[in-house]
Amino acid sequence: MKFRPLHDRVVIRRAAGDVKSKGGIIIPDTAKEKPQEGEVVAVGPGLRDEDGKLIPLDLKIGDSVLFGKWSGSEIKVDGEELLIMKESDIMGVVETTEAARKAA
């Protein structure tokens, strides 16, 4: 099954959480805190303004993003747990070192 988000929705694969604490203690699944970082898997086409013109999203597939702790809704697609949220729920894009160097 393929999933295509509509409007300004974004589908995100949450980053893997830490298995061990800094002190080396193994953290059970029930006590793990879910990471607030993930990778964009799919993006919608964007919103329409008052004139009906399409305003595309600033995000693209493959972007690494940060989002709020309670942002989005968890969905399951083909057995994989994903998050779907509005673009406005995303706080920012984490740039890689190469992209950061080009921007500077």
Total domains in the fold of the chain: 1
83 in a domain, yes or no? yes
Measured between alpha carbons, how far is residue 32 from residues 28, 35, 38, 72 in Å?
A: 6, 9, 16, 19
22 in a domain, yes or no? no
20 in a domain, yes or no? no
Q: Which domain covers residue 49, as residue numbers?
A: 9-15+29-103
Tens of pLDDT, residue by residue over 41-76, are 999 888 888 888 988 888 889 889 988 888 888 888
Among 10-19, 28-37, 80-89, name the one with the lowest average pLDDT. Answer: 28-37
